[in-house]
């Protein structure tokens, strides 16, 4: 069964727009093909361009449960796949200590479903309802940890030595995100459809602002998008993300500021930028 049974690329565009995610044709095409080919989507791009939001939007659009694996340095099998409930196992061993049963019988007991703790990947495999699996910031894990993902992404299954192979019955929509802080393995990339999302054009960001910030004036939305685009051309330590652009637009709206000018906008720049040097550079753009 297709993971995302969209009828066409246009249906993806319209569906995502209906849940306030403004995709372009390239994004919609990859989402459509991922559903038809039952492939994960590897989404790369700068921080804050909507990679994680795409997974959330797909969950909202398809009425699916969102299961998120947040990646970080040191992530291991016990946090990504599964682990055994050792405290509960110990209690069972102690409770059975007076019984004459051998180790084989005891091991078969304590290494059973009753003592298994599902982590995000196994939760997604065993889920009976529709699921969107988000593997967020996969570039943060060590390359060795990527091997944990390969069996899931290829065959949608997990091998548990004590229980055998657990196979999924319903293939989820899988979205992996990467900020491109390191090169991902060829084995991982080979299993995915690739999608690069960059900062939006001025026109598209203006549309995003108008959709996500109800009540904002068209002129102010255009000015905000234009200023943010110019800021991203500077050598900032942290260019503003789309979410920070929206926060800035909401700030101006709440303060009753109708035009981007230095007198009124300068004090609001910390909403958009997070480093003093970046704010100093931005002052010249706003002036």
22-40 pLDDT, tens digit each:
999 999 999 999 999 999 9
106 inside domain: no
User: Last residue of some domain: 171, 196, 221?
Assistant: 196
Q: How confident is the model at residue 161 (pLDDT cuts 50, 70, 90)?
A: confident
Do residue 32 and residue 164 come from a single domain? yes
Range of the domain at 269: 202-286
pLDDT at 97 over 70: no
Structure tokens at 102: 């051998």
**Which H or E run contains 30?**
helix 25-37
Q: Is residue 82 part of a domain?
A: no
Identify whether residues 281 and 210 lie together within a single domain.
yes
Q: What is the pLDDT of residue 255?
A: 92
Q: What is the mean pLDDT of residues 191-215?
A: 95
Q: Are 278 and 238 in contact (CB under 8 A)?
A: yes
Among candidate residues 165, 168, 83, the one with its CA nearest the CA of residue 118: 83
The span from the CA of 165 to the CA of 160, in Å, is 6
- Per-residue pLDDT, 286: 76
b vs e for 218-229, b when ≥16 Cβ sit within 10 Å of the residue's Cβ?
eebbbbbbebbb
How far lies 221's CA from each of 171, 206, 216, 260, in Å? 40, 6, 7, 10
Dihedral sign from CA coordinates of 75, 77, 82, 85? negative
Domain co-membership, 240 together with 183: no
The enclosing domain of 44 has a CATH number of: 3.40.50.300
Outline where DSSP puts E strands in 71-220. 82-84, 116-118, 131-136, 157-160, 164-167, 173-178, 193-196
CA angle 267, 271, 277 (to 5 degrees): 75
- Nearest alpha carbon to residue 274 among 242, 231, 239: 239
Look at 15-24, 50-59, 106-115 and tell me which has the smallest mean pLDDT: 106-115
223 vs 77: which has the higher pLDDT: 223
Q: Residue 174's beta-bridge partner residues? A: 133
Predicted TM-score (pTM) of this structure: 0.85
Listed residues 151, 169, 196: the one ending a domain: 196
* pLDDT for 54 beyond 60: yes
In angstroms, the Cα distances linking 259 to 200, 201, 208, 223, 266 are 22, 21, 18, 7, 12
| CA torsion, ordered 250, 251, 254, 256, to nearest 10 deg | -110
Are residues 173 and 146 located together in one domain of the fold? yes
| Residue at which a domain ends, from 181, 196, 211 | 196
Kindly report which listed range (71-85, 124-138, 234-248) carries the lowest average pLDDT score: 71-85
């Amino acid at each position: 069964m297709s993971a995302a049974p969209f009828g066409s690329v246009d249906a993806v565009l319209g569906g995502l727009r209906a849940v306030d995610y403004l995709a372009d044709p390239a994004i919609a095409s990859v989402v459509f093909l991922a559903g038809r080919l039952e492939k994960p989507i590897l989404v790369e791009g700068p921080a804050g361009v909507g990679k994680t939001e795409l997974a959330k939007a797909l969950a909202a659009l398809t009425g699916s449960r969102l299961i998120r694996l947040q990646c970080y340095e040191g992530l291991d099998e016990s946090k990504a796949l599964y682990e055994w409930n050792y405290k509960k196992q110990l209690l069972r061993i102690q409770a059975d200590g007076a019984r004459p049963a051998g180790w084989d019988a005891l091991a078969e007991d304590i290494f059973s479903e009753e003592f298994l703790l599902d982590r995000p990947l196994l939760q997604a495999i065993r889920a009976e309802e529709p699921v969107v699996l988000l593997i967020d910031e996969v570039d943060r894990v060590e390359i060795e940890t990527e091997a944990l993902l390969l069996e899931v992404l290829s065959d949608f299954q997990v091998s548990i030595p004590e229980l055998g192979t657990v196979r999924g019955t319903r293939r989820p929509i899988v979205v992996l995100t990467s900020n491109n802080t390191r090169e991902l393995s060829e084995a991982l990339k080979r299993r995915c459809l690739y999608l690069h999302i960059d900062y939006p054009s001025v026109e598209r960001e203006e549309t995003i602002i108008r959709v996500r910030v109800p009540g904002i004036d068209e002129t102010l939305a255009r000015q905000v998008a234009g200023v943010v685009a110019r800021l991203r051309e500077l050598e900032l330590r942290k260019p503003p993300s789309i979410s920070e652009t929206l926060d800035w637009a909401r700030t101006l709206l709440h303060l009753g500021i109708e035009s981007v000018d230095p007198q009124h906008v300068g004090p609001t720049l910390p909403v958009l930028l997070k480093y003093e040097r970046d704010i100093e550079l931005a002052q010249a753009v706003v002036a």
